[in-house]
Amino acid sequence: MNNERIKEILLDISPCEIDFTVTQTGKESKRVNGFYKPDTHEIFLHNLNFKSDNMLIYTAVHEYTHHLCTIEKQENDPSYGKACKVHTQEFWAKFGDLLKIAEEKGYYSIGWESNEELKALTQDIKENYLAKNGQLMQEFGKKLARAFDLCQEADIRYEDYVDRVLCLPRGAAKDIRKVGAVEVNPAIGFENMKVVASVRKKDARAEVEQEFLAGGKSPSSVREMMKQKSAQANGTDPKTKLEKEKSRLEKTIAQLTQRLEYVEESLANM
């Protein structure tokens, strides 16, 4: 697969007005499979690292995600991409979305279902480890909640009990108690249960839980979805902020226009 074909695939996955280049280095690297230069919009792929075009496309999409995120961020901050964190939750969510499109268009396939041993192992992991661990941690949370009540009744400092008796990090103990306090399907696994338990409203929790149960989305994608919905609800997403600014400017212009008419009329009568 040549460079132009890779670029065609990336543009078909997600069009972009800002041009970029794709270069296969003809090298092998133990450090990285590829990298992106934000100042020149160049994607470099160490193609000797890959055994198939499928793996090449995966990395190409990864680096292209950097390009798309950089372009979007540089609209408001021209310095973005220089000495800043790039593997953010927003990045991983965008990467997951692009991979899904790549799969739908037939450019990429994760292919785990075609490997019978891996397929059986995946089922074993989900049923006997993720789900069972989730259920165990849910019960653990209820036990900690009871321990909290008993400490309160006996005038025992709960934090000291967690620190020096259970030897648990306080943050972990807090997360576990949250999971035990709400109804969450343990099939999604403990880490995802923590995300669901952090949602206050029951209906919103059910929606987030369903996103995890449906599969096909990374935890970063689900968390980013939650973040965007929260921003929209609070009026802090970029579109809503611009709409509010537009409304304020229109009111200001109307007031200034009215004032200008008054001043002009006053001058004419002098």
Beta-bridge partners for 44? 23, 35
200 within 8 A of 209, measured Cβ to Cβ: no
Task: Give CA 95 to chain center in angstroms.
Answer: 9
Q: Hey, what are 257's tokens?
A: 């226009």
Q: Please state the pTM of the whole predicted model.
A: 0.77
**Those residues with Cβ within 8 angstroms of residue 140's Cβ, 6 or more apart along the chain or in another chain:** 176, 180
What is the pairing mode between strands 34-37 and 42-45?
A: antiparallel
Provide φ and ψ at 37, rounded to 5°: -105, 105
CATH topology of domain 3-110: Zincin-like (3.30.2010)
Q: What is the pLDDT along the chain (270 residues), one digit of tens a residue?
A: 999 999 999 999 999 999 999 999 999 999 999 999 998 999 999 999 999 999 999 999 999 999 999 998 888 776 666 666 889 989 999 999 999 999 999 999 999 999 999 999 999 999 999 999 999 999 999 999 999 999 999 999 999 999 999 999 999 999 999 999 999 999 999 999 999 999 988 998 999 999 999 888 888 888 888 888 777 777 666 677 777 788 888 889 999 999 998 888 888 888
Residue 22, beta-bridge partner list: 43
CA distances from 262 to 128, 251, 253, 270 (A): 78, 17, 14, 13
Q: What is the DSSP string of 147-210?
A: HHHHHHHTT--HHHIIIIIS---HHHHHHHHHHHHS---GGG-HHHHHHHHT--SHHHHHHHHH
**H-helix or E-strand spanning residue 45:** strand 42-45
Three-state DSSP at 112 gives helix
d(CA 167, CA 161): 8
CA-based torsion, 116, 9, 24, 36: positive or negative:
negative
Q: How far apart are CA 129 and CA 192, in angstroms?
A: 14
Cα 106 to Cα 157: distance, rounded to the nearest angstrom: 58
Q: What is the pLDDT of residue 186?
A: 95
Residue 236 confidence (pLDDT)? 61
Report the C-alpha gap between 86 and 235 in whole angstroms. Answer: 25
Residues contacting residue 1 through CB under 8 Å, at least 6 positions apart: 53, 56
Residue 79 has what pLDDT? Answer: 67
Q: Is 65 exposed, middle or buried (0-12, 13-18, 19+ CB in 10 A)?
A: buried
Q: Tell me if residue 36 falls in helix, strand or coil.
A: strand
Give me the residue label for tokens 């929260």.
230
Residue extents of the structural domains in the chain: 3-110, 113-234
